[in-house]
Structure 1
Amino acid sequence: MTAPLLVLTDFSPDADLALRHAAALAALLKAPLRLLYVRRESLLDPEAFTGSIRHLSDAQIEAAFAERTAGLPVSVLSEAVSDRLPEALAAAVEQYAPALVVLGKPDTQQTPDQLVSTTALQLLRSTNTPLLVVPQSAGAPAPPRHLLLAVDGEPLDFATPPTGLRALLEELRPRFSSCHVASKATTTSVSAAETLTASPLLAGLGLPVTAHNMVDSDVPGAIVRAATELQADWLVLPARRRSFWGQLFNQSVTAQVLLHSPRPILLLPTS
């Protein structure tokens, strides 16, 4: 059986858009969807006393599930759980072993970077599963044909083999651009295309990869601009757990790109 796609929902328009994007991908893969709503009722939840959490009855949740899954072209299993979001997602990932976790992101142009990065990167760390973040500006779902992967000069290795994601890429057959942005000119050349082609993500798939190297002091801004200039459908970013550069990339570059990219962003949990 093809690995499912796991979609987080809070029944907002942003989550509904993410569900439509996930359904389009699942239809290509002939994969089922798992739709997860998390009842955030714990007093330990950071937003428990802010008034921003919606408290829905069982009947309201069932009605919301039915409204959103009616007419989708794939099989959908909906589930509501009570827990903190990272723990609930980690449990769902362990249960369903999804190829991809998908969530929506509202317009955050006026939101501090730390608040934007907290949710996506915390969820990524708690699951070690590729995470597709669909911003409000992403528009109608369409199969991505051109992916721009921002590389940082390190090997693209994975703690868990990206089997489900490779299956998606094999079905889509997109072309890749690898983008390396240096904050200043150096004598060291990063062979970004070779790094990507030889990675566990693409090795043996025979997908075309072109290199796009830049020098710019505004690294995240350059990545977002490169995606626009190259007309990429998705941005792909590695999120590293170790090394000084990895921490810097997670806390600064990735957060900034998440904040400003109008395109869907695929976050890869690398080792």
Structure 2
Amino acid sequence: MPAFPLISIVIPAYNESARIGATLQQVIACVREQGWNAEVIVVNDGSTDTTSRIVLDFAMHSPEVRLLENPGNRGKGYSVRSGLLQARGEIVMFTDADLSAPIAEAERLFAAIRNGADIAIGSRWLERSRQTHRQPLYRQFFGRCFNLITRMVMGLPFHDTQCGFKAFTRDAAQTVFQLQTIERWGFDPEILFIAIKRHLRIDEVPVTWGHDERSRISYLKDGLHMLREITIIRWNALLGRYNGPVIPIAR
């Protein structure tokens, strides 16, 4: 592999021993079939199971894979930030460990980047026919309500802020994630809010997506946390915390 890959794929992982092996098999198979010059970074978020060991074992025969360890359980937002800021690619992306959006769909995000976008975000709602396994109705209801509130309060013009399938140019990732402050589930609206404030171009791209019944998010409990975090984001904006300088990180 050349010194610097063109693409970095970041996978945050917390207690994913039951599926991280299969996930890496699918991702590496896709990388090789597509001929992507890519690295795959798994960020272990303080797992108490064998997630790290599985990833390290996999990396022994797949040089594209490397493991990053968080200092304990810090949250998905922290994991994504850590992975993307340490990524070496010119295009960097993150995807959930359940691969609800098949990794081959990343080519749709990369195409948007090649066509001039700074950030490309996957959307489950632009083309609903692309949903292969829909969420239960109650999850759809709470998810759409949260997205509506987020759009109204934060002025985000996107159909789907929460889809865990997003890609960035290296410069855009360095800008957005150095300024990110939210470390858990509510980080998605923050990074989009920062990107708009920094005048970055964001393209929303319809992707194939299937709900995984093992999803850990609770729309009642985590939704309340996210609403609190939206308030924090607005407060941060008033204090000018998203206007600070960004220092490029060497690869």
Task: Report the TM-score when normalising by structure 2.
Answer: 0.36
The structure with the larger Rg is: 1
Q: Which has the higher strand share?
A: 1
Task: Report the TM-score when normalising by structure 1.
Answer: 0.35
